[in-house]
Structure 1
Amino acid sequence: MISFLIFLGVFLFMECVTWMTHKYIMHGLMWYFHADHHQPKYANIFERNDIFFVIFAVPSIVLFYFGVQGGMNYLFFIGLGITFYGLCYFTIHDVLIHQRFKWFKNTNNKYLIGLRKAHKIHHKHLGKQHGECFGMLFVPFKYYNM
């Protein structure tokens, strides 16, 4: 039970980490890597922005490694929470919203439509200033009723 609570707590906490990273790092110090994500798309499937996948994967890998040393411990479940959040982020952001992979073309789900609308508002700003809606899985309720 404690393992599941650790996993769930980390998963939920990752939304806060994502929001702060997106607002202050991606739209700040590391804008060079994130800028191409806010520009019109070209034929290339990869973006410089994809480096953030690696940045978030490294702590998960390290936590998995140390989490299985001498039997499974809490570090494994922290890594699992980060990894599962990353999988959800990939599915929502890259598959559903940006259609980098054409797996889900249409949805009538109000939650998913709200996520799309909030992300569209985020991308209306092509520069790093004046951004809004920096989270991914939790967005303001106003976007569900637009």
Structure 2
Amino acid sequence: MSWPAGIALFFATVVFMEGFAYVMHRWVMHGPGWFLHASHHAPRHGNWELNDLYAAIFAVPSILLILGGVQLGWWPGYAWIGAGIAAYGAIYFGFHDVIVHRRIATRYLPKSAYMKRIVQAHRLHHAVEAKHGTVSFGFLWAPKPEALKAELKRRDRAGVRAPRGRVAAE
């Protein structure tokens, strides 16, 4: 496979992964996979949460595709696809775990309109503690925060956590 074709396949995979991540987040993590993902919507105690297992689960296809495309004689494009999956994982880790959730200390503050939008959309996603009723499931693309706030309001703020320091009304 030529380098230009491989690089195109790599970038196409990164773009595809945003759609895949949206589907997995909305219908698996907030569906039958909630037993792992619920830990991500609760206050974290320590460095790890059950939700972190998703990173290992999603790394398996990437590793297998790279191994197959490079070492096992499979179609070389599989290595580029596996690398694209790994790149999306690295981008996700940087945005999600470092910038949004600050699991690694950094002094970075979002300044661009794009980064502010992504961070705010993810925080609005986490405003809901429950399995259902949340908004914004993508990560590298997100609706405008105003639209997300309006949707939460339309849902009568069902499942929205109380502000810190206050107990939710019963």
TM-score by length of 2: 0.80
Instruction: Report the residue type matching 2:136 in the other structure.
Output: C
Is the aligned partner of 1:11 residue 2:17? no
| TM-align CA RMSD | 1.9
The answer for the alignment partner of 1:110 in structure 2 is: 113
- Aligned length in residues: 144
Is the aligned partner of 1:67 residue 2:66? no
Moved more, 63-72 or 49-58: 63-72
**Cα separation, partners in 2 of 1:17 and 1:40, compared to 1, 3 Å:** same
Is the aligned partner of 1:31 residue 2:30? no
Instruction: Report the residue type matching 2:132 in the other structure.
Output: Q
Give aligned-pair identity as a percent: 37
1:63 & 1:71 partners in 2: Cα distance?
9
Deviations along 1:94-135, whole A, 9 cap, x unmatched? 000000001244231221111111001100110100121000
1:64 & 1:111 partners in 2: Cα distance?
31
Instruction: Report the residue type matching 1:95 in the other structure.
Output: V
Instruction: Report the residue type matching 1:63 in the other structure.
Output: L
3-state SS of 2:129 partner: coil
Deviations along 1:7-34, whole A, 9 cap, x unmatched? 0111100000000000011000010100
Instruction: Report the residue type matching 1:117 in the other structure.
Output: Q
Greater Rg over alpha carbons, structure: 2
CA shift for structure 1 position 72: 7.6
User: Which structure 2 segments of 5+ residues have no match?
Assistant: 150-170
1:127 & 1:107 partners in 2: Cα distance?
27
Instruction: Report the residue type matching 2:54 in the other structure.
Output: F
Tell me: higher relative CO, structure 1 or 2? Use CA pairs within 8 A at least 6 residues apart: 1
4+ runs deviating over 6 angstroms: none
TM-score by length of 1: 0.92
Structure 1 counterpart of 2:57, from 39, 55, 58: 55
Is the aligned partner of 1:138 residue 2:141? yes
User: Which structure 1 segments of 5+ residues have no match?
Assistant: none
2:110 & 2:11 partners in 1: Cα distance?
26
